[in-house]
């Protein structure tokens, strides 16, 4: 999305807004990340976990979680002058995945949040973006008390395509989250440029 804004001297500057998805398994920190980095009050569609969902929502390792996203989270962050990111947090449970196709339309790329205590939970998101050729980075949310693994270890465990970035982060920390987003924008920019060059060569 591109829009024109006038600057103080009366000239025209181009403001670019990019759509980014934040995905991953149930309870991995998607809502937390969007809320931590957003410069506006984030839109949240959280509901209390119910008894009906106990049979399908695996809360092992996230026992304190009492709510879940049922549609999406939304936030916005300005990376630098003229560049803003619109963040769309996806629901984690598979019963809400029908929303992913709609949310992914027009996205530059995605952040796949991972929890090393439940690494298998991010496999569906990784598969989703790989099959649709949407650039993504894996951001390992470093929970207190969880065993620490290096980026290469996580990359091998997830069988990521060569070159897919893996970064360590704290989803609660704005600067850490912003670094993840910058890494994604840089990586997605390189991927889109390479595809464009391939298409005209």
Q: What is the pLDDT of residues 36-92, one digit of tens each?
A: 999 999 886 655 544 544 444 454 554 554 555 445 899 999 999 999 999 999 887
* Confidence tier at 144 by pLDDT (50, 70, 90): confident
Q: Is residue 19 classed exposed, middle or buried when 0-12, 13-18 and 19+ CB atoms within 10 A define those classes? A: middle
Q: With CA atoms as reference, report the closest residue to 18 among 193, 174, 186.
A: 186
What's the pLDDT score for residue 64? 55
What's the pLDDT score for residue 27? 87
Rounded to two decimals, the pTM is 0.81
Query: Which positions ≥6 away from 121 have C-beta within 8 Å?
Result: 24, 25, 26, 28, 58, 92, 114, 115
The CATH code of domain 16-47+66-199 reads 3.40.50.300
Q: List % helix, strand, coil for the chain (3-state, nearest 5).
A: 35, 30, 35
Residue 20 predicted with pLDDT over 90: yes
- Per residue in 77-93, pLDDT (tens digit) is 999 999 999 999 988 76
Q: Rounded to an integer, what is the distance from CA 187 to the centroid of its chain? A: 14
* Confidence tier at 189 by pLDDT (50, 70, 90): very high
Neighbours of 65 (CB within 10 A): 12
Cβ pair 44, 69 in contact under 8 A: yes
Tokens of 199: 């298409």
* Beta strands, E only, 62-177: 67-69, 73-80, 83-89, 109-114, 136-141, 166-169
Residue 98 predicted with pLDDT over 70: yes
Task: Name which residue leads in pLDDT, 137 or 98.
Answer: 137
Q: What value does the mean pLDDT of the chain take?
A: 84
């Amino acid at each position: 999305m591109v829009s024109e804004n006038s600057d103080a001297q009366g000239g025209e500057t181009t403001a670019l807004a990019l759509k980014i998805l934040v995905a991953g398994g149930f309870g991995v920190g998607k809502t937390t990340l969007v809320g931590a980095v957003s410069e506006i009050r984030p839109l949240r569609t959280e509901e209390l976990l119910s008894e009906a969902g106990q049979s399908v929502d695996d809360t092992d390792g996230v026992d304190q979680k009492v709510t879940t996203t049922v549609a999406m989270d939304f936030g916005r962050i300005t990376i630098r002058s003229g560049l803003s990111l619109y963040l769309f947090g996806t629901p984690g449970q598979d019963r809400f995945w029908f929303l992913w196709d709609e949310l992914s339309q027009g996205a530059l790329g995605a952040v796949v949040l991972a929890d090393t205590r439940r690494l298998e939970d991010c496999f569906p998101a990784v598969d989703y973006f790989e099959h649709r050729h949407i650039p993504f980075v894996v951001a390992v949310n470093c929970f207190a008390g969880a065993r620490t693994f290096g980026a290469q270890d996580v990359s091998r465990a997830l069988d990521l395509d060569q070159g897919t970035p893996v970064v360590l982060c704290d989803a609660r920390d704005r600067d850490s989250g912003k670094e993840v987003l910058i890494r994604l924008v840089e990586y997605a920019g390189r991927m889109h440029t390479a595809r464009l060059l391939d298409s005209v060569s």
